[in-house]
Amino acid sequence: MLPSTKLPASFTRALSPLRSCFSAPTYETFVVLVVGFLSCIGDHTVTGMLVASGYSSAWDHNRAHRFFSRASWCPDSLGMAILDLIVNHLVDASSALELVVDDTLYKRCGPKVWGVFWHHDATSTSSKPVAKGTCYVVIGIVVTPLFMTRSICLPIHVRLWIPKPKSAKKRKTNKADKNCPSKVDIAKHCVLAIVARYPDRRVNVCGDADYISQALRKLPNNITWTSRLRSDAALFEFAPPKTGKRGRPRTKGKRLGGLADIAKNVPWKKLNVRRYGADGDGAVTVEVHSFTCLWHGVLGTEPVKVVMVRDIGKVGYGIAIVTTDIEANDATIIERYAKRWSIEVCFEEGKMIAGVADARNRTRKAVERTVPFANLSMSLLVVWFATCGIDPDAIVDERRNLAPWYRTKVNVSFADMLDTARRVLTASDFRPTRRSEPSAQEIEIMQLASEYVAA
């Protein structure tokens, strides 16, 4: 019997819309690996997924490895299909799409592992924060499900980033990647694909200071880009009116001072905003100052809005946010940038709970597709939980009963969703056949283990 015919009904509703992204045999493998990824308790390697699904005795393990290394499917197309599910079930029809972008490092080593380079490691505590591994650019959509009071990030595009060669000699030895796009180029390409799929939607993109460059000039009108402003940014007043004299008109006005100088000589106003730990009904009071200008060296003649934020009683400024959404008010911009932190939480849950970095593939296609598959499976889990009909309050009550000292828990966590999915899959008859009778060797191994425990 095919695995898709033995799925619980709730998983069938979540996975069946993705059937068009695969051929029929590949879709069956996809279903088994998704179930294995969610059910796996130990290392989430490809073989571990197959064993956790219960199909290791029915299928050759090469079928699972072939799904990542040679099968015909595209992670970007799968991400778009999952985005459709998220938009249909978790996003209001009249609201904009809130996207966040960042990159994350998965530590890998070995001369035969594709895409391994030395990268900056933001989690390192040493004096030289670098590590060897693979770096992926991740674009996620920020949603606030009805069963939660905080925003969460669901990955929809995950792409391997290859740094550009530093010399022409090295470029010749890496013929497969003569044109290595930058992280911003990768993010821009993915965002434009999303806009092409939803041309009537407004798309608000948010990233840190590394995700804004000249590549973002002349974006479509329905895209806004928000980022942290670098402290050394050269800001200018708007271009003065034309004088009528010969020569090219000026494209920028007088240069403004540095951010530290601006913060000393401007009025600050108090503003209540929801950010970080103040999600939901809570709010914090901060001091803000905003102005419009040109960031000519990066975005050219496109006007930008700068919002400077600091805590009450502080001197100078804490953070400066730059956005192309000059019509948005200060509170909206601050709260939009604060939601960027949800992608950092997503990275932590993926590495520490879901095991997205456990795969040990080495070939190019496998490296490029295994981590995206794992991240997209995390998004599928949230979509499944939102549509399965399970009462989230009952799960929260159960957790609080098991840990009576934990009285502040009001939302289900990613770990709660994963545990619930494992219960549903364990209770279902997903395994292909009933387990065969143990062999003589297996009986001997169990007897030896029992004797060891008894001793």
Residues 401-451 have pLDDT tens digits of: 888 888 788 889 999 999 999 999 988 877 775 455 566 766 666 676 666
- Output the pLDDT for position 176: 42
Question: For the purposes of burial, counting CB atoms within 10 Å of the CB of 135, is it exposed (0-12), middle (13-18) or buried (19 or more)?
Answer: buried
- Output the pLDDT for position 281: 52
Q: Judging by DSSP bridges, how do beta strands 203-206 and 223-228 pair with one another?
A: parallel
Q: Record the tokens describing residue 25, joined without a space.
A: 């045999």
Q: Can you list the residues of the chain whose pLDDT is less than 50?
A: 168-176, 279-280, 434, 455
What are the angstrom distances between the C-alpha of 359 and each of 333, 354, 369?
A: 38, 12, 11
Which one, of 54, 81, 78, lies nearest residue 67 by Cα? 78
Are 157 and 190 a contacting pair, CB within 8 Å? yes
Q: At what angle do helices 24-39 and 364-387 cross, to 10 degrees?
A: 70
- Output the pLDDT for position 313: 84
Q: What is the pLDDT of residues 61-80, one digit of tens each?
A: 999 999 999 999 999 999 99
Q: What amino acid occupies position 62? A: N
The answer to pTM > 0.85 is yes
- Output the pLDDT for position 278: 54
Q: What percentage of the chain exceeds 90 in pLDDT?
A: 71
